[in-house]
Chains A and B, each alone.
Chain A
Amino acid sequence: MEVRLKPHIMGHIQAVQLILDGAPVKFIVDCCLDAVIFHTDFKVTHESLKSTRSQKVSLSKRHKDYLSNYVASLHIDATTAINLILGDYFNGTETMLKTPLTVKRIKPLPQLEKEVLDKPSEDTKGASLLSNLKR
């Protein structure tokens, strides 16, 4: 998944790059997202630089689920989401989505008794008679 980092995020990343001796942008983004998602305590104290450029970056697979859930829960696109997450991270505020969303296991409805299935309800008797003829 590719996203475009906004200039104000790039300002933070470039500052971190200076400290980490020119680490690639993707590496820093991955480390930041690991810190948010997997609580890896990655923290580099830095002063944000002024940046006017934005940059495209591809995300690692391990972050994809989290980002998808974030996107779904806020009904925003992936680029906005990644900029919000990294913005919160660099400002020291917690992201809105603390834990990744998981699909709830929904129990299927209990099976109806055979007699109930066989006998059409009074409301739909005519429709049942008709549809039973289909093969």
Chain B
Amino acid sequence: MKLIADIGNYSTITALEGKEPLLIRAVEADITVKSVMSKNTDESPTVLCEGRKLILGEYATKQKNAQTIVEQGKHNPDVIKPYLFAGLRENFQGSISYLVPHRDKWQEDGLRSKLINTHEIAVNGKFYKHTVTDIQFYLESDVAVEAAFITKEIPDDGDCLAIDIGGGTTNFLIMTPDGDVLHRNSFPDVGGVSLANDIINSDLMKSQKYAFKVPKIMDAIADGTFRYGRNYDFFPVFKPLLDNWFNRLVDQIMLDSRDYLSDVATVMFIGGNAELLRDRIQNQDGYYIPQNPQYSNIEALIGG
């Protein structure tokens, strides 16, 4: 068996090979010593792992002591473990295909040393025993572009500039139809979190004199309500801030990759925040956003 994992700043996506992926918001609340009514759903599971009882996902964002995976350290195996196995509903034995934004020997060795083992974990009241035999690492944006070339979703008459706009980080790369990566770079803190911070720091939101939380702003963007809770509507500032945020991102990418842009025939957007740009590129040649851009990387691996 193979478990595929895309641990992101905003959400984690896991899938067993050949099965549907499961997306969980990358937020946890520790309820080890608290009596909290849990939800026990797939999207908001309750996990017992290493002596800690955790609520993960959407429901965790409602808890007072909610913490995002970024705040805890996304590369810490102990932090990742509950998210990694929360989607499994049977005992697992096999390898993990793990998506990373860039190769880092220290992080990879750390994950190998802790995760290649047998783990006992309870999810929504049921106990499971998972044995990880190996971990293979894949560069997350590369797999999506390679798959798009293979499936002819993007034309092979030129290179592809892929921009992966995630929750916390924006990766981009330029790949030839043969799969050679001519250039790649990664801008940390330019993903959706950056846009959410722009909104929080706008005059409109500051005038509300309220401590807004980044994850809830991101949720309000994702569900299209542009409203924080019931009272705080940030729609008036969203459009200009989105334009400003994206224009800055485009400028950064152009500056960084201008020597490689001459043969680019397609600009492809992937990642959770690519959806924000869909109306911009509608009915225009030369651009491509997959149907579910947040699943592009994991689906490429599931497809083999």
Contact = CB atoms under 8 A, between A and B. Distances in A.
Interface of A: 122-127, 129-135
B286 A133 contact: no
A133 B277 CA distance: 9
B230 interface: no
Interface of B: 158-159, 161, 174, 243, 246-247, 250-251, 253-254, 258, 260-267, 277, 280-281, 284, 286-287
Secondary structure of the A side of the interface? helix
A127 B158 contact: no
A123 B262 contact: yes
A130 B250 contact: yes
B280 A133 contact: yes
A134 to B, nearest CB: 5
Contact of B159 (A126, A132, A134): A126
Contact of B262 (A124, A132, A134): A124
Contact of B261 (A130, A132, A134, A135): A130
Interface centre among A124, A125, A131 (most CB of B within 10 A): A125
A128 to B, nearest CB: 9
Contacts of B253: 130
B264 A126 contact: yes
Among all A-B residue pairs, the 10 with the closest Cβ atoms: A126-B264, A126-B261, A127-B261, A135-B243, A134-B247, A129-B286, A129-B267, A134-B250, A123-B262, A130-B254
Contacts of B258: 127
